[in-house]
């Protein structure tokens, strides 16, 4: 069984730039959720994708957007980066309807200068 | 008031001690309760997952949920230095949008 993978591991961007983060879900999972974890804080829910459509969204502005592909992999896009966007971005996958919970990838650490 | 409250610690215990970690919450709609362990600069690793109230045991770990008090706990028996990590409680009403506590940093000293 393949776990959740994310790329890249680290990324440095400057304010105003755009970034794309990638996630491959665990084998057999059909749902991908994205979380933002600031230093010293718990993860915060950004949004979830199921069947290539957004299936719930947290309190994040529209410049945070995503995609899910037919193979259930996913992208998180952030436009007009701000300094406060510096965080660990976590992807979690699950099988909707299974009653099981979400399993996380290792995360992408984004630094905005 | 935050939706999920968790004492950030830090908590330091000697090897072999019993560790008790707790979270309180305000949303009575939460039905799914999780504990994750997170090592420094890594993704959270699922430890325990429970639905509704009750206890669940897995090896040295026991999770308790008291929905009437809106209180969940994780107990670690015979703690080991390898248990040193940040422990995150998480909960959800729909098993999709999870709400996390801030995490408790635990150090187990040899």
| Per-residue model confidence as pLDDT tens digits over B59-78 | 999 999 999 999 999 999 99
Tell me whether residue A39 is exposed, middle or buried, using C-beta atoms within 10 angstroms of its C-beta: 0 to 12, 13 to 18, 19 or more.
exposed
| Cα(A64)–Cα(A48) distance, integer angstroms | 12
Largest Cα–Cα separation, chain A? 41
Cis check for the bond before B88: say yes or no (omega within 30 of 0). no
Residues of B in contact with A103 (CB under 8 A): 46
Q: What is the pLDDT of residues B76-108, one digit of tens each?
A: 999 999 999 999 999 998 878 899 999 999 999
pLDDT at A2: 66
- pLDDT at residue B43, rounded to an integer: 93
Q: B8: which chain A residues are within 8 Å (Cβ-Cβ)?
A: 40
Which pair of structure tokens corresponds to residue A15?
């304010």
Q: What pLDDT is stored for residue A96 in this prediction?
A: 80
What is the number of H-type helices and E-type strands within chain A? 0, 11
Q: Does B4 touch chain A (CB under 8 A)?
A: yes
Give the C-alpha separation, A41 to B63, whole Å: 22
Question: What is the chain A residue with the closest CA to B46?
Answer: A103
Grade residue B9 by pLDDT with cuts at 50, 70 and 90: confident
Is residue A67 within 8 angstroms of chain B, CB to CB? Answer: no
pLDDT band, residue A1 (cuts 50/70/90): low
């Amino acid at each position: 069984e393949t776990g959740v993978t994310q790329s890249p591991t680290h990324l440095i961007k400057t304010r105003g730039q755009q970034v794309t983060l990638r996630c491959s879900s665990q084998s057999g999972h059909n749902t991908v959720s994205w979380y933002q974890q600031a230093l010293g804080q718990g993860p915060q829910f950004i949004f979830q994708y199921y069947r290539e459509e957004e299936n719930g969204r947290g309190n994040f502005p529209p410049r945070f957007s995503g995609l899910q592909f037919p193979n259930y992999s996913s992208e998180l896009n952030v436009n007009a980066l701000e300094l406060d966007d510096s965080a660990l971005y976590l992807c979690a996958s699950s099988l909707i309807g299974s009653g099981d919970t979400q399993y996380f990838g290792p995360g992408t650490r984004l630094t905005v200068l | 008031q935050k939706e999920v409250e968790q004492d950030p610690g830090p908590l330091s215990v000697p090897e072999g001690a019993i560790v008790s970690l707790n979270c309180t919450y305000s949303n009575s709609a939460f039905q799914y309760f999780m504990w994750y362990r997170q090592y420094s600069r890594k993704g959270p690793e699922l430890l325990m997952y429970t639905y509704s109230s009750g206890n669940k045991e897995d090896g040295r770990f026991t999770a308790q949920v008291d929905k009437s008090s809106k209180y969940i706990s994780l107990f670690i028996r015979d703690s080991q230095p390898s248990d040193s990590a940040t422990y995150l409680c998480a909960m959800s009403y729909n098993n999709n949008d999870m709400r996390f506590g801030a995490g408790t940093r635990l150090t187990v000293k040899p």
